[in-house]
Amino acid sequence: MNNRLRVLRAERAWSQQDLADRLEVSRQSVNAIETGRYDPSLPLAFKIADLFELAIEDIFTNPAKEPE
């Protein structure tokens, strides 16, 4: 499960802490998601999509899918 979180965050010049505050999660959670250590829960994914005003599919992509 890849994601464009780091890019979206950079576009807004937010630190991981800034984003964590807006999402009401810890900085470590943001970091873990960005570095791909784990995927967010569905509720958190919704919160992220909401914050960036994008669809979940526009932020997260399933590498196991989309053949080529």
Partner DNA sequence: GCGGCATGTAAAGCAACATTGACATTCGGC
Partner DNA sequence: GCCGAATGTCAATGTTGCTTTACATGCCGC
Is 8 an interacting residue with respect to its own copies (CB under 8 A)? no
- CB of 40 within 8 A of CB of 48? yes
Q: How far apart are CA 20 and CA 51, in angstroms?
A: 11
Q: Write down the least CB distance from residue 33 to its own copies, Å.
A: 10
Site for DNA, residues 15 to 54, rule: CB under 7 A: 15-17, 20, 24-29, 31-35, 37-44
How many Cα atoms occupy the beta-carbon half-sphere of 10 within 13 Å?
5
* Partner whose footprint covers residue 5, from its own copies, DNA, none (CB < 5 to 8 Å by kind): none
Q: How far apart are CA 53 and CA 50, in angstroms?
A: 5
Given candidates 24, 53, 57, 68, which one binds its own copies under the rule CB under 8 A?
A: 57
